[in-house]
Amino acid sequence: MTGNLSNKMALGKSIKMYLTIFVATTCIYMVLYQYHMSRQPLATNEVVKQPEKSSSSSSSSSSSSSSSSSSYIASFLWAPMPNSFYNSTQNTTMGLGQGHGGGATNVTYSSTATSSGPVNASGSSYFFYSTVSLPLILSSASDANNNKSISTTTTTTAAATAGLATTSTTTTTTKTTSSTTTASTQKLKTTRISKPSHAQNSMGKSTGVTLKIRSKFVAVSDPPPLYIITPTYRRPEQLAELTRLGYTLKHVLNLLWLVIEDANRTNPLVAHTLDRIGVPYEYLVAPMPEQYKLTKRAKPRGVSNRNRGLDYLRANATEGVLYFADDDNTYDINIFEQMRYTKKVAMWPVGLVTKTGVSSPIIRAGKLDGYYDGWIGGRKYPVDMAGFAVSVKFLHERPKAKMPFKPGYEEDGFLRSLAPLQNNEIELLADECRDILTWHTQTKKNPAALPFNLTRYGNTNLAFIEKLLVRP
C-alpha cells in the first residue's frame, strides 16, 4: 500500500519536473527567438512598397497593360529588332514619312489608333506629345501604299486660323498623358489622351509592342517657324546631350528640330529618345565623307549634317528662320523668340568661346563694328556656330549657300556664301549684343563602359541598361 503510494508520488514528482523543464525550455526558446527577430531586417511584407513601376508588360507578349514612360526603352529592347529596322540609305527619315522630303521611311503599323489633334488657342499654340514609337517593321518609302491595308484610324485636326495642322496616329498601350508647356510669349495648352489598345502587327498577331506614328509638323506663319539644325554623332554622351537640348527646345513653339546624325544609318535609340522628349522632329543621317574621317588633322565636325539640314529646308520650308544648334551647347530659350523674326541674318554673343571667354559682334555707336573673339584667323565673320541665325526666305534667295568642309572656317564660309550681305543688314540680338544667351559648353568625354558580364547579370535589369551604353 505504502509502496503504491510512494510510486504514485514519484510519478507525480517526475511529471511536475518534466512540465517545469518543458515550460522553462519554451520560455528560453521564446526569449531567444525574440532576440533573434530583433536582429533581423524588416520582413518583406512589412516593407512599404514603392508604387509599382510597370515594366512587367514589356515582356508579356500580348497583354496591353499600362506601361509608364520609364519602361519604354526597356520594352523596346525586349522586342526583337528586325534587321529591316535599320535603313542604311542616306537621308533616312525616322518616323512619319509622308510629306517630309525624300527618302522617307514609313513605319508600318497596325491596330486601332487613337489620336487627338492639337489644342490650338488663338492660332499660336500647338501640342505635340509623342508617346513612344516601337516600330515593328520599317518599310521603304515604296511600301507606303501597303499601309492602307492596315486598320488604322487617323484623326487630323487642322488648327483653324493659324493653319497649324498635326496629323497624329497613335497606337499605344500607354496611359493618359498630359503636358503643359509655356513659351515666353504664349501659353501652350496641351492635353493628349491615348486610349489603351492591343497592338497587333500587320499579320494580325498581337505583339504587345506599342506603336506610335509621330505627328507631322506643319509650320504656321505666325509666329514664324523655327528650324533647329542639330548635328549629332554616336558617343557615350549622345543621348544625354540630346535629352538636355530637347527639353530646352520643348519650351519653344512652332519649332521643328532637325536632328541629323553623322552616320550611315539611324539609331533606334536616338529615335526613341526623340520620341520620348516629344518635340516635333525629323531624324536624318548625313555621314562625314570618308576622306575627312581618315584625316589625322582637325575634322570638319557636323558639316555634312548641317548641309543636309539646309537641303531639307530648301525642299520643305518656305519661311521662318534656321539656326544651327550643336547638341552640346547651352541655350536660353529667349534667344529663340528673338531670332524668330530675322529678316536675313541675326547675330549675338556666345559665351565660353576661346580665351576671351566670349565671341561677340562689337557694337559701336549702335553699329556693327567688327568682332571680338580669341581667334580671328583671317575670317570675315569670326563668329561661333551658336551665334547666328538665318532667314529661310533669305536662304532660298541664295541657292548656292552651304557650309564648307573647312575646320575652323565653317561659320565664316557659310556666312560668306550668303553674299551679298551688308553689315547693316545683320540684326543684333540679345539686347544689342549686351547679353549672353547661348554658351559653347563642352561635355566632358566619358570613357566607354566596361564590358558587361552576361553570365552574372543576364537575368537582371542590367541586361536592358547594357543596350543603352556605347562601347568602342
Active-site amino acid positions: 411
The only residue of 220, 242, 385, 395 in contact with ligand UGA, by rule CB under 6 A: 385
Nearer CB in complex with Mn ion: 90/354: 354
- What's the DSSP call for residue 68? -
- 395 touches 401 (CB < 8 A): yes
Nearer CB in complex with ligand UGA: 86/292: 292
> According to the binding rule CB under 5 A, does residue 411 interact with Mn ion?
no
| Pairing label, strands 330-331, 438-439 | antiparallel
Cβ neighbour number for residue 112 with a 10 Å cutoff: 14
Per-residue string for binding with Mn ion, 161-200, x by CB under 5 A?
A: ----------------------------------------
Which residue minimizes CB distance to ligand UGA?
302
Q: Which three cell numbers stand for residue 340?
A: 524668330
Q: How far is the CB of 385 from Mn ion (least distance, A)?
A: 8
Q: Which does 385 bind (CB under 5 to 8 A by kind): ligand UGA, Mn ion, none?
A: ligand UGA
384 in a labelled binding site? no
> According to the binding rule CB under 5 A, does residue 328 interact with Mn ion?
yes
End-to-end CA distance of the chain: 100
The only residue of 442, 446, 460, 461 in contact with ligand UGA, by rule CB under 6 A: 442
CA dist., res. 281 & res. 97, Å (int):
12
**Part of the chain binding ligand UGA (CB under 6 A), chosen from 68-76, 127-135, 299-307, 354-362:** 299-307
Closest CA to 215 of 299, 324, 305, 133: 133
22, containing H or E segment: helix 2-39
CA dist., res. 217 & res. 18, Å (int):
88
CA dist., res. 314 & res. 309, Å (int):
9
**Part of the chain binding ligand UGA (CB under 6 A), chosen from 41-49, 176-184, 187-195, 322-330:** 322-330
- 259 touches 246 (CB < 8 A): no
Q: Which three cell numbers stand for residue 444?
A: 566632358
CA dist., res. 278 & res. 253, Å (int):
12
> According to the binding rule CB under 6 A, does residue 357 interact with ligand UGA?
no
Nearer CB in complex with ligand UGA: 187/416: 416
Site for ligand UGA in 51-70 (CB under 6 A): none
> According to the binding rule CB under 6 A, does residue 275 interact with ligand UGA?
no
- 321 touches 389 (CB < 8 A): yes
> According to the binding rule CB under 6 A, does residue 246 interact with ligand UGA?
no
- What is the contact surface with ligand UGA in residues (CB under 6 A)? 231-233, 262, 288, 300-302, 305, 326-328, 384-385, 407-408, 410, 440, 442
